[in-house]
Amino acid sequence: MLDEKNFTKYLSRHEIDAAIQVIAEQINRDYAGQELVLVGVLKGAVLFMSDLLRQIKVPTEIEFVRLSSYGKARTSSGTVTILKDIQADIRNKHVLIVEEIIDSGRTLKFLYERLKSAGPLSVEIVTLLDKSSKRVVDVPVKYIGRTIEDQFLVGYGLDLEEYSRNLPDIYYLKYPN
Protein backbone atom coordinates (compact mmCIF):
# COMPACT_ATOMS: atom_id res chain seq x y z
CA MET A 1 0.00 0.00 0.00
CA LEU A 2 1.19 3.46 -0.89
CA ASP A 3 2.41 5.31 2.17
CA GLU A 4 3.21 8.93 1.40
CA LYS A 5 4.82 9.31 4.85
CA ASN A 6 7.80 7.57 3.29
CA PHE A 7 8.16 10.21 0.58
CA THR A 8 10.84 12.85 1.02
CA LYS A 9 10.91 15.81 -1.33
CA TYR A 10 13.74 15.60 -3.82
CA LEU A 11 12.95 18.30 -6.39
CA SER A 12 10.33 21.00 -5.99
CA ARG A 13 8.10 22.09 -8.85
CA HIS A 14 10.12 25.31 -8.93
CA GLU A 15 13.36 23.42 -9.40
CA ILE A 16 11.70 21.29 -12.08
CA ASP A 17 10.46 24.44 -13.87
CA ALA A 18 13.92 25.99 -13.73
CA ALA A 19 15.52 22.86 -15.21
CA ILE A 20 12.92 22.79 -18.01
CA GLN A 21 13.53 26.46 -18.76
CA VAL A 22 17.25 25.83 -19.25
CA ILE A 23 16.62 22.82 -21.52
CA ALA A 24 13.99 24.68 -23.57
CA GLU A 25 16.36 27.57 -24.21
CA GLN A 26 18.99 25.15 -25.53
CA ILE A 27 16.44 23.41 -27.74
CA ASN A 28 15.08 26.71 -29.09
CA ARG A 29 18.61 27.77 -29.92
CA ASP A 30 19.69 24.44 -31.46
CA TYR A 31 16.57 24.00 -33.62
CA ALA A 32 16.07 27.65 -34.60
CA GLY A 33 14.74 27.85 -38.17
CA GLN A 34 13.84 24.14 -38.16
CA GLU A 35 10.87 21.97 -37.35
CA LEU A 36 10.75 19.36 -34.65
CA VAL A 37 8.90 16.16 -33.78
CA LEU A 38 8.80 15.47 -30.04
CA VAL A 39 8.33 11.78 -29.27
CA GLY A 40 7.15 11.36 -25.68
CA VAL A 41 7.61 8.05 -23.91
CA LEU A 42 4.36 7.08 -22.18
CA LYS A 43 3.42 7.13 -19.48
CA GLY A 44 6.06 8.72 -17.28
CA ALA A 45 7.04 11.55 -19.60
CA VAL A 46 3.58 13.13 -19.96
CA LEU A 47 4.02 15.93 -17.45
CA PHE A 48 7.56 16.76 -18.56
CA MET A 49 6.50 16.57 -22.21
CA SER A 50 3.66 19.04 -21.74
CA ASP A 51 5.69 21.50 -19.67
CA LEU A 52 8.60 21.35 -22.11
CA LEU A 53 6.28 21.68 -25.11
CA ARG A 54 4.86 24.92 -23.73
CA GLN A 55 8.37 26.43 -23.75
CA ILE A 56 9.33 25.38 -27.28
CA LYS A 57 9.16 28.14 -29.86
CA VAL A 58 9.94 26.29 -33.10
CA PRO A 59 7.16 24.59 -35.13
CA THR A 60 6.62 21.27 -33.34
CA GLU A 61 4.59 18.09 -33.83
CA ILE A 62 4.05 15.66 -30.98
CA GLU A 63 3.93 11.89 -31.03
CA PHE A 64 3.90 9.27 -28.30
CA VAL A 65 5.19 5.76 -27.88
CA ARG A 66 4.49 3.27 -25.17
CA LEU A 67 7.10 0.66 -24.45
CA SER A 68 7.11 -2.11 -21.95
CA SER A 69 10.16 -3.23 -20.14
CA TYR A 70 9.28 -2.66 -16.52
CA GLY A 71 5.71 -3.61 -15.92
CA LYS A 72 5.22 -3.15 -12.22
CA ALA A 73 8.79 -4.08 -11.38
CA ARG A 74 11.16 -1.35 -10.27
CA THR A 75 14.10 -2.43 -12.37
CA SER A 76 14.11 -2.91 -16.12
CA SER A 77 14.02 -6.42 -17.50
CA GLY A 78 16.09 -5.73 -20.57
CA THR A 79 13.42 -6.89 -23.00
CA VAL A 80 11.62 -3.99 -24.63
CA THR A 81 8.44 -4.31 -26.67
CA ILE A 82 6.33 -1.66 -28.38
CA LEU A 83 2.80 -1.30 -27.04
CA LYS A 84 2.03 1.88 -28.98
CA ASP A 85 4.03 3.20 -31.91
CA ILE A 86 4.28 6.69 -33.46
CA GLN A 87 1.80 7.49 -36.23
CA ALA A 88 3.69 10.21 -38.09
CA ASP A 89 6.15 9.69 -40.92
CA ILE A 90 9.43 10.99 -39.49
CA ARG A 91 11.42 10.78 -42.70
CA ASN A 92 13.34 14.03 -43.21
CA LYS A 93 12.29 15.36 -39.81
CA HIS A 94 14.26 16.28 -36.72
CA VAL A 95 13.15 13.98 -33.89
CA LEU A 96 13.61 14.62 -30.19
CA ILE A 97 12.76 11.76 -27.81
CA VAL A 98 11.33 13.02 -24.52
CA GLU A 99 11.92 10.83 -21.48
CA GLU A 100 11.48 11.70 -17.83
CA ILE A 101 14.20 9.48 -16.38
CA ILE A 102 16.96 7.25 -17.72
CA ASP A 103 18.22 4.38 -15.63
CA SER A 104 19.92 1.45 -17.42
CA GLY A 105 19.29 3.12 -20.79
CA ARG A 106 17.81 -0.07 -22.25
CA THR A 107 14.39 1.40 -23.00
CA LEU A 108 15.82 4.42 -24.76
CA LYS A 109 18.50 2.56 -26.66
CA PHE A 110 15.80 0.42 -28.21
CA LEU A 111 13.63 3.41 -29.14
CA TYR A 112 16.58 5.47 -30.37
CA GLU A 113 17.74 2.74 -32.78
CA ARG A 114 14.22 2.11 -33.98
CA LEU A 115 13.48 5.76 -34.74
CA LYS A 116 16.87 6.20 -36.41
CA SER A 117 16.09 3.39 -38.81
CA ALA A 118 12.96 5.26 -40.01
CA GLY A 119 15.02 7.81 -41.96
CA PRO A 120 14.78 11.03 -39.92
CA LEU A 121 17.19 13.95 -40.38
CA SER A 122 18.29 13.54 -36.77
CA VAL A 123 17.31 11.82 -33.54
CA GLU A 124 18.26 13.30 -30.18
CA ILE A 125 17.21 12.58 -26.60
CA VAL A 126 16.09 14.88 -23.81
CA THR A 127 15.56 13.62 -20.27
CA LEU A 128 14.55 15.48 -17.18
CA LEU A 129 16.50 13.12 -14.90
CA ASP A 130 19.53 10.98 -15.54
CA LYS A 131 20.68 8.22 -13.18
CA SER A 132 23.94 8.13 -15.08
CA SER A 133 25.69 5.79 -12.62
CA LYS A 134 23.12 3.09 -13.47
CA ARG A 135 23.76 3.10 -17.20
CA VAL A 136 24.18 -0.38 -18.71
CA VAL A 137 23.96 0.48 -22.41
CA ASP A 138 25.30 3.60 -24.04
CA VAL A 139 22.76 6.12 -25.34
CA PRO A 140 23.58 9.60 -26.58
CA VAL A 141 21.59 11.97 -24.35
CA LYS A 142 21.78 15.52 -25.64
CA TYR A 143 19.77 17.42 -23.04
CA ILE A 144 19.71 16.55 -19.32
CA GLY A 145 17.73 18.42 -16.67
CA ARG A 146 19.47 16.94 -13.64
CA THR A 147 21.95 14.15 -13.10
CA ILE A 148 20.81 12.26 -10.01
CA GLU A 149 22.00 9.54 -7.67
CA ASP A 150 20.56 6.05 -7.73
CA GLN A 151 17.30 6.57 -5.87
CA PHE A 152 13.80 5.48 -6.63
CA LEU A 153 11.79 8.61 -7.38
CA VAL A 154 8.06 9.26 -7.64
CA GLY A 155 5.87 12.17 -8.66
CA TYR A 156 5.73 14.45 -11.69
CA GLY A 157 4.91 11.50 -13.95
CA LEU A 158 7.13 9.00 -12.16
CA ASP A 159 5.16 6.18 -10.60
CA LEU A 160 5.32 3.74 -7.78
CA GLU A 161 3.36 0.78 -9.09
CA GLU A 162 1.30 3.16 -11.25
CA TYR A 163 0.42 5.58 -8.44
CA SER A 164 1.76 9.02 -7.50
CA ARG A 165 2.34 10.26 -11.07
CA ASN A 166 0.05 13.18 -10.20
CA LEU A 167 2.28 14.66 -7.48
CA PRO A 168 3.55 18.04 -8.75
CA ASP A 169 6.93 17.65 -7.05
CA ILE A 170 9.42 14.76 -7.15
CA TYR A 171 10.04 12.62 -4.07
CA TYR A 172 12.36 9.81 -3.14
CA LEU A 173 11.32 6.80 -1.16
CA LYS A 174 12.80 6.70 2.30
CA TYR A 175 12.00 3.00 2.69
CA PRO A 176 11.99 1.66 -0.87
CA ASN A 177 10.63 -1.75 0.15
Closer of 13 and 134 to ligand IMP (Cβ): 134
Minimal CB distance residue for Mg ion: 44
Using CB under 5 A as the criterion, which residues of the chain lie in contact with Mg ion when the complex forms?
A: 41, 44
Residue 69 sits in the site that holds ligand IMP (CB under 6 A): yes
Within positions 112 to 171, which residues make up the interface with ligand IMP, using CB under 6 A?
A: 152-153, 158-159
Residue 160 CB, nearest distance to ligand IMP (Å)?
7
The question of whether 130 is a catalytic residue gets the answer no
**Closer by beta carbon to ligand IMP, 108 or else 167:** 108
Secondary structure letter of residue 150 according to DSSP: S
The yes or no reply on residue 76 touching ligand IMP (CB under 6 A) is yes
Shortest distance in whole angstroms from residue 176 CB to ligand IMP: 9
Radius of gyration from C-alpha coordinates of the chain? 16
Using DSSP, state whether 85 is helix, strand or coil.
coil
Q: Which residues belong to the active site?
A: 103
Question: Which residues are at the interface with ligand IMP (CB under 6 A)?
Answer: 41, 44, 69-70, 76, 99, 101-108, 152-153, 158-159
